[in-house]
Amino acid sequence: MSYVDEVIEQVTVKNHDEPEFLQAVREVLDSIRPIIDADEQRFRRDAVLERLVNPERQIKFRVPWIDDNGDVHVNTGYRVQFNSAIGPYKGGLRLHPSVNIGIIKFLGFEQIFKNSLTGLPIGGGKGGSDFDPKGKSDREIMSFCQSFMTELCKYIGADTDIPAGDIGTGGREIGFMFGQYKRLRNLFEGTLTGKGLSFGGSLARTEATGYGLLYLTDELLRCHGESLEGKTVVVSGAGNVAIYAIEKAQQLGAKVVTCSDSTGWVYDPDGIDVELLKDIKEVRRARLSEYKSSRPNAEYHEGRGVWSVKCDVALPCATQNELDVDDAKALVANGVTAVCEGANMPTTEAATKYLQDNGVYFVPGKAANAGGVATSALEMSQNSERLSWSFEEVDSKLKTIMENLYHNIDNAAKRYGFEGNYVAGANLAGFEKVLDAMNAQGIV
Ligand code: NDP
Ligand code: 2IT
């Protein structure tokens, strides 16, 4: 059996109850076969793949917090410090009831290669909790965030591990966590990114993941003789990534006709009103069902359905495995040209294969959504030099990073004989740098 298959089998046995982690590992290991197979004996002897798939450190802790009635709740907190070969651990914190160790490991594993692809010196990590922020008051959110950070602060630091936002963690939560970190450690340092602008945050970090997704999508289309101008785009999600993906797609001349949240989805034939969406989601923290009351031409449907809408470009920006093979078939039947992932692993394995087999340009999240973490790394740079850059400066660096990233994965796919397969390109290019650093640093 090949070394790659041997390790996939080991990981499957050892982590059989972590399907998302297995899915992420299978995809990456399968893609990097050309590198591993070329020097299999040495990689096996050095246990390179075993070291790659086992996190350097996993932290799991109790998070007790008190609600507004004085009742105590206990959630579970996680931080997986996956790989620090190329820099300090970096990655977001997810707050969602579906969080478990397998979810955090899948996200942390993906983050290793994503962070490598940014070209910036950041290793891979991820954390979060099964806490559900929905319906909680600001005080309850603060109570949770302070308790979470009371434990997490022992393991992180500006040169050790730098968490940030993800599902359920936005500016409000990062603010509460930063306040508690500073209080407990007596350090005002950039150990979190996505901070408010008045205390070390970077301009354009809020917009970065969505904008970056569109910079990459635009570059992809241009390299194939097309552009976003006049294209119809469908987006899922209505959170941080989705909102700024919609905004930038519209700035680039596309018409975005859908968005969704966990209860339903909107079809707006006139194009999503992004200011209204921001007001509903960022200010009022309300349900998407409220969209229709201000936009009579729009439709609101319960459940899922954005992938059934005819489009040229599809941008899944909500959560993992939200686009399955039936959705992929509907997209292909409707003539989709490109699917670029704003979320992490939103497309199932079967759907990915179907899209690729049918000639759709498919760019995986670890490449397409890397603009968020890349801009987090720019926030770290600004914190280190105690300066802040203008919006234009950060945004133009982000654009350059995403364009370079596209060419990097495109070239890697070509170099290894997989032209047009951006999954292979992203995994190969991301892995090359991590492997080089791991080899240079010995067996650690
Ligand atoms: P948010 O919490 O801001 O938004 C998540 C959106 O997805 C919400 O509209 C949410 O609906 C919707 N959603 C639908 N179904 C689910 C579900 N089952 N679980 C969770 N959310 C669901 O998160 P982000 O926009 O920050 O993150 C979206 C995706 O992008 C995630 O995969 C994340 O890992 C990824 N990502 C985020 C980055 C960032 O910088 N924030 C960077 C790179 C990737 P509802 O409002 O009803 O909960
Ligand atoms: O998935 C991701 O890349 C993020 N949630 C952003 C991580 C970060 O450190 O900015």
For residue 387, how many other CB atoms are within 10 A of its CB?
A: 8
Q: Which of 312, 244, 235 is nearest to 267 (CA)?
A: 235
Dig out the tokens for 51 from the structure: 């070291």
Q: Return d(Cα 119, Cα 129) in angstroms, integer.
A: 29
What's the pLDDT score for residue 17? 97
Over residues 12-38, the pLDDT tens digits come to: 999 999 999 999 999 999 999 999 999
Active site residue ranges: 126
Ligand 2 atom nearest residue 166's Cα:
5
What's the pLDDT score for residue 312? 98
Asked whether the beta carbons of 165 and 174 are under 8 A apart, the reply is yes
DSSP string, 172-240: HHHHHHHHHHHHHH------SSS--GGGTPPTTHHHHHHHHHHHHHHHHHHHTT--STT-EEEEE--SH
Q: Is 340 helix (H, G, I), strand (E, B) or coil?
A: strand
Ligand 1 atom nearest residue 98's Cα:
19
164 lines ligand 2 (CB under 6 A): yes
pLDDT profile of the chain (444 residues), mean per 10: 98 98 98 98 98 98 98 99 98 98 98 98 98 97 98 98 98 98 98 98 98 98 98 98 98 98 97 98 96 97 98 98 98 98 98 98 98 98 98 98 98 98 98 98 96
CA 130 to chain centre: 18
Q: Is 6 helix (H, G, I), strand (E, B) or coil?
A: helix
Ligand 1, CB cutoff 6 Å, lining residues: 96, 165-168, 209, 237-242, 261-263, 317-319, 342-344, 369, 372
247 lines ligand 2 (CB under 6 A): no
Enumerate domains of the chain plus CATH numbers: 3-188 (3.40.50.10860), 207-363 (3.40.50.720)
Over residues 189-240, the pLDDT tens digits come to: 999 999 999 999 999 999 999 999 999 999 999 999 999 999 999 999 999 9
What's the pLDDT score for residue 338? 98
Distance 87 CA to ligand 1 centre (A): 26
Ligand 2 atom nearest residue 90's Cα:
9
Q: Return d(Cα 264, Cα 117) in angstroms, integer.
A: 34
Asked whether the beta carbons of 265 and 305 are under 8 A apart, the reply is yes
Q: Return d(Cα 208, Cα 402) in angstroms, integer.
A: 10
90 lines ligand 2 (CB under 6 A): yes
